[in-house]
Structure formats: C-alpha cells, structure tokens
Amino acid sequence: MGEAILQTAGVTKRFGGLNAVDVVDFTLGPGELVAVIGPNGAGKTTFVNLISGALRPDAGAVLFEGRDISRLPVHARAKLGIARSFQIASIFPELSVVENVALAAQAHAGSSFRFWGEVALEAPLRRRALAQLAALGLSDCADRPAAQLSHGEKRLLEIAMALVTEPRVLLLDEPMAGLGISEARRMISFIATLKGRFAILLVEHDMEAVFSLADRVAVLASGARVTDGPPDAVRADPRVQLAYLGAEEEDL
C-alpha cells in the first residue's frame, strides 16, 4: 500500500462545548478504500468536512502526502487532488448532465471561464465530460436537464463531476443515501470499479456496501475513533456493537 497519501493527526473540531471530532488519528493509503462508520451524530460528516477544507480544525492537522493542508481552502485542496461527493446531491439542476460535468472539469482546469451555458460547447471539455458519463452509464442522459434524472442517477452524476477532476483522493459522503435497492446495488458495483484507482474514504450507513467494499473500516462514536481495522475484525468488535447502541450483529 505504501505511505499514507492522506492522514489526520489528532484532528479536533469543537462546536461550543461539544467536540464533534475528538483527537482523531486516521490514515488512507494510495489505492485503499477505507469506510468510516458510526451512529448518527458520531462526527462522520464533520470529519469529512475537515479533510475537504469545508471546516478547519481547532487542533491537530490534516496531511496530504506529508504536507500540512489544515489551513488550505476547499479549492486549493481540490487542486491537490482531493474531490468530494455530498450526502445530498450537489448539482446544477437547470443545466444539462454533460454541462454539469464539463463545468466541473472547467473549474478544476481553470480554462476559459465562459458562462455556464457555453461550457459544454468547448470541444475538449465536452469530450472529457462525455467520456466520464460513458464510464458511469449515463451517456443516454447527457443532454437532458439534470433535474430530470432519478435520485440514483443524480448521485452518479455528482461522482462523475468529482472524477472528471482526475482526483487522487475521493471522499464519498453517503453515496447510497436515499437509493432504492437496485440503485444501491448499481452504486456498489460502480464504486467497486474504482477500487485501486483512487484512494477512497467512504462514509456510509449501508453496512452491505461497507463490508463488501472496504479494505479497512474506521468507527467513530461521539466524535472519537473507537476502532480501525479489517472489516471482519471490526464487525466482531464488541465496542462497535456498543457504539451502535445495542445494534444486532447481523445489522453490522
């Protein structure tokens, strides 16, 4: 696996008197998929926000290839190769599907900065966008308004917008949220194709997805790291059962 591409060292975020993330150490190696799980309120999304740059830590550090990036803004981290999807799909519904992806490519490359409606007309951007849509099985939707996509297709579109920036680290924040059974299976199958190509941090409540995809699983509870290890070991850890407030083992 090699040295960590992404690391947090004692990272902490406070909101008033609450430590939403409490002295968390974490590593992500090149090509590794690590799932971060925990009950509601565990601090998972806050943790991802600290890595993406949406929040700055009150203590500790976020490191990318050994460099402290704790104070860098989101766009600067994106330039380094950190891309993110969100719990709620973050797209431009009034634009076409291909325009959404081309705009993401443009923003990352800093190309011509034309008005949004003209972005997809730039041939190099459109080619990149269409290639990415084809990889996700969205070619037939390319010229449709993004608002017309199903919920699952919108989640795939958002991932296409992240992947077109050619990231080195992909942060997936609950990509299965709100998906039906068939859409969730499609998403799991797609994420499986990304394994080994990118370092992936996956925050997810769907335990089927977590334990079928993850190389390692890190568990947060009340902002602190409970455990971190291979999926089978984490599944059997009594501390994980306690963190999930008595959840039945077969649910984890």
In this structure, the strands spanning 169-173 and 199-203 are: parallel
> In CATH, what number is assigned to the domain containing residue 183?
3.40.50.300
pLDDT digits over 139-163, tens only? 999 999 999 998 888 888 998 998 9
124 shares a domain with 58 = no
235 shares a domain with 180 = yes
Which residue, 111, 145, 166, sits at the end of a domain? 166
CA atoms of 204 and 252, how far apart (whole Å): 12
**Enclosing domain of residue 113:** 91-166
- Write down the pLDDT at residue 46: 95
Alpha helices in 179-243 (DSSP H): 181-194, 207-213, 231-236, 238-243
Give the residue from 157, 163, 161, 162 showing the smallest Cα distance to 183. Answer: 157
Residue 18: CB atoms within 10 A of its CB come to 12
CB of 76 within 8 A of CB of 82? no
CA atoms of 105 and 113, how far apart (whole Å): 11
pLDDT digits over 74-84, tens only? 989 988 999 98
- DSSP secondary structure code for residue 8 in this structure: E
pTM, two decimals, is 0.86
Give the residue from 194, 136, 131 showing the smallest Cα distance to 168. Answer: 194
Specify if 215 maps to a domain: yes
Residue 146 corresponds to which amino acid? A
pLDDT digits over 190-237, tens only? 999 999 999 999 999 888 899 999 999 999 999 999 999 999 999 889
Which residue, 166, 195, 223, sits at the end of a domain? 166
171 shares a domain with 158 = no
Place of tokens 């941090």: 201
143 shares a domain with 72 = no
Specify if 179 maps to a domain: yes
183 shares a domain with 144 = no
With H, G, I as helix, E, B as strand and everything else as coil, classify residue 7. strand
Q: How many folded domains does the chain comprise?
A: 2
CB of 71 within 8 A of CB of 78? no
Cβ burial of 191 (10 Å; 0-12, 13-18, 19+) is: buried
pLDDT digits over 10-23, tens only? 999 999 989 999 99
Give the residue from 127, 125, 130 showing the smallest Cα distance to 114. Answer: 125
**Which tokens hold the place of 35?**
């799932």
Q: What is the largest CA-CA distance in the chain?
A: 56
